[in-house]
Structures are given as C-alpha cells and as structure tokens.
Chains A and B, each alone.
Chain A
Amino acid sequence: MKVAIIKYNAGNITSVAFALQRLGINPEITDDPELIKSSDKVIFPGVGEASTTMNYLRLKKLNQLIPELKQPVLGICLGMQLMCNYSMEGKTPCIGIFDELIEKFPAKEKVPHVGWNTISNLKGDLFKNIPDNSYVYFVHSYFANESQYSIANSNYIKPFTAAMQKENFYATQFHPERSGKIGVLILKNFIEL
C-alpha cells in the first residue's frame, strides 16, 4: 500500500505521518505530482490559514493536481476547507471539489471550536464500525454547512458538516490523527477503501 501525504506548509503533517506509521504504513510525504498520482491513497492534511496555503498550492500547481486524482483522497481540517469552492478566511477561492462555502463561526461565541465533540448521521465506508455520537477532536474557526456531501455532522453554535464525500474525495473537519481510538479506526477505514 502506497500512501502519499501531500507536502506543503501544513502544521499537522508530522502527526498524520505518525498516525499512519502506527497503522503499519510508511507514508511518502511529497509534493511530486508523479509520486502523488501513482499512490494508492492520498492524504491532504491541513492546519494553517486559507489564503496563504492556497497561494502555496497554486505555486506548486497542486490546486490542479488534487481534483484530477482518481484514487481515494482524504482532506483533513483546512485540507477539507480548501477542497471546497470558497473560504471566507482571507476571502479565498479554493480548489472547488465540493461546491460549498466555508464560513466563520459568529464572533460573539467562543472561537476557535476546540476540543472533543460528537459526530452523528454517519454514512459510508469511512465510518464503518464507528458508533453514532462518537467523540472526535476539532480545532477550527471556519466551517461548512450541512449539505448533500455531508457524511457526518456535528454541532457547535450551529449544526455543521463534520465530514464530506464526493466520489473518491473524502474530507473531515476534525483531526482523525488526534482523535484517539476512534480516529485510528477512521484512518484505518480510509486506508482499506
């Protein structure tokens, strides 16, 4: 099994790589298009700011590569947000795999949404054997609304999308690499897709 983690200035690359190693997989951290294309699975991590990150992805032409991938792709946190159309963070046009807008949580409430929250309405193979209302770890100030793509929902201030899917593209707003045993199962499910 060849797993590529897309290399860019995302803060959680190390943790994602370690999480895969704990599953017995040695991922390749790379921005080489050929290597990414030839992998069995691709992970698009993300911690950081949307506009800076998109600029970097454009520079490396990764914004063109990612939507063309045919194998299962998993976006995490900012990775998920950048797979949408547009982010209000830095007013940033994004990759546009999911036709969704990324909005900011209202400033009157405690933002970022940090901590363990439950996910429900779980759908599809990514959540195989994951019980409804399992706790996973979130850290984010921006979110996507529930939509046709939602395969898991959560609620903080308002209901929002905790995970989405369109064809071979999967994405989670939470951090499976930091979500304890449940996170391990979700990553394992992704690897076994």
Chain B
Amino acid sequence: MLAKRIIPCLDIKNGQTVKGIEFESLKTVGDPVELGKYYSDNGADELVFLDITATHEKRKTLVELVHRIAKEINIPFTVGGGISTIEDAEAILSAGADKISVNSAAINKPELISEIAQKFGRQFIVLAIDAKLENNEWIVYKNGGRIKTELELFSWAKQVERLGCGEILFTSMNHDGTKNGFALEPLKWLAENLNIPVIASGGAGSIKDFENVFSYSNVEAALAASVFHYREIEIRKLKRQLSLHDISVRD
C-alpha cells in the first residue's frame, strides 16, 4: 500500500540552514547535509531544500550543496528556490536532486513547466503554490508570498497539472506559521480534483494536525519545518500515531 509521506523542509541561505535548529546531536547545527542525514535516518520519507537566497550569484553554491546532499542521502529530495530556467533545472538534476520545486518562475512563464516536464519527465517537477484566502477566494502569491497575482488557486492548480507538473505543493499563507493545523478545505478540493499527488504545507503544530489532514483529505504527503526542527514532533512518534489511526506510513 502506498504510504503517506512525511517531509521535513529545510530553508537554506548561503549554504546553511536558517531556521533555528535544536538538535544537540548534530556537530554542525547549520549544515543542511548533516541535518538532512539526521532526518533521513530518523523516519523522514523525503526532504525538501528551499534556497531562500536564490540569487543568481549564489546558484553555484546551491549546485555544490545539492551534490553534497546527494552524496550522503539515500531518500528522495527536492530542491527549490529561484529555479527559473531549463539550465537551472538541469544543473540541479545532474548534481543529484530527484525533483525540483518551481513557484514564481512558472507564474511568470507557465510554458516553463511543459518544457521541464518534456525534457526531464513530469515526475521531476513539483509545482509549489502559495495562496491566501481573501473574500472567499484563494489568491495565488508569488516571490515568497510578497507579490499578489491575478491567479486563483484551483484554476491555477488545474492549469499546472495540464502543463505537466508531477506534484503540487500547496502552502496556505493563512495557516503557515500559525501551528493551528493545515488548510483542510482547499487541500481536500485539490486532492479530489487533481490527478497528481498533493503535498500539504503550512500550519502543522501537532501530531493531531497530521492525523486530521490525512483523514480529512486525500493528500499524499504533509510537509513541515519548525515542528520538526525544534523537535516538537518526532517523525517516528508521529508515524506511530498515524498508523494507530489506520493511516498507512512507512515504518
């Protein structure tokens, strides 16, 4: 049976993880490779590395980092942040990443999705969408949530599916950072109306929140950052709880 995936997300700036990390066992607290390895040894199903520097000059650092991660980690990982061309995608793929996550660049140039999908396969492209509920409508934002777009979440999601992305990573800006749980309604809609896997992101605060998102909606995966980094939730414990609730997870 296909397991629901638990995905820690690591924010990277200048080659280092940025969110405060409370793992005493790690030698270099800020080293994304060591932290990624820790997670992969402790039950994570997949990792997402988001480069929040993402300026052109820093690209090279990112490619070198991806290479180091690929060398050490034996679970799949996605790399995102500022990927805007086929060349960016190719560099990250050949450095050893399994998938890339694209957000603003796809909004600016939707055909980028089909170009990447055609060249590297649709499994290689995860489309990240940040959206905010405003007057009963989910509005898509770009540039890390700073710029409002004309797009509406559900039609954008259908469009990117048609263009050829392999998965959708949806973050509700209303829920992100609140620790009050995932945005259940839009996630339910996405998981029911798309024929590609959906990853839930934004709002995880407790084990119960993960139980809720998997029982309420048919999302394939749930992503979180701080609850894992601060050890408020341990992935193995989370998975034990989920399996007690008949949610299938990889042990």
Q: CB-CB < 8 A to B2: which residues of A?
A: 113, 115-117, 156
Say how far B238's CB is from chain A's closest CB, in angstroms: 15
Q: CB-CB < 8 A to B93: which residues of A?
A: 11
User: Any chain B CB within 8 A of the CB of A55?
Assistant: no
Are A180 and B3 interface neighbours, CB within 8 A?
A: no
User: Any chain A CB within 8 A of the CB of B75?
Assistant: yes
Which of B71, B74, B96 is most buried by chain A, counting CB atoms within 10 A of its CB? B74
Residue among B70, B76, B196 making CB contact with A18, cutoff 8 Å: B70
| CB interface residues, A 162-193, toward B, < 8 Å | 175, 177-181, 183-184
Minimal Cβ-Cβ distance residue in A for B218: A110
Are B74 and A19 interface neighbours, CB within 8 A?
A: yes
User: Any chain B CB within 8 A of the CB of A147?
Assistant: no
Interface of A is mostly: mixed
B interface size (C-beta, 8 A): 33
| CB interface residues, A 113-141, toward B, < 8 Å | 113-118, 135, 137, 139-141
Are B98 and A114 interface neighbours, CB within 8 A?
A: no
Are B45 and A115 interface neighbours, CB within 8 A?
A: yes
Chain B positions near chain A (C-beta within 8 angstroms) = 1-3, 5, 40, 45, 67, 70-71, 74-76, 93-96, 98, 118, 120-124, 166-167, 194-197, 220-221, 250-251
Chain A positions near chain B (C-beta within 8 angstroms) = 11-12, 14-15, 18-19, 21-22, 47-49, 107-118, 135, 137, 139-141, 155-156, 175, 177-181, 183-184
Known pairs A11-B121, A18-B70, A21-B71 / 7 extra A-B pairs, C-beta < 8 Å: A11-B93, A15-B70, A49-B121, A139-B76, A156-B2, A177-B74, A179-B74
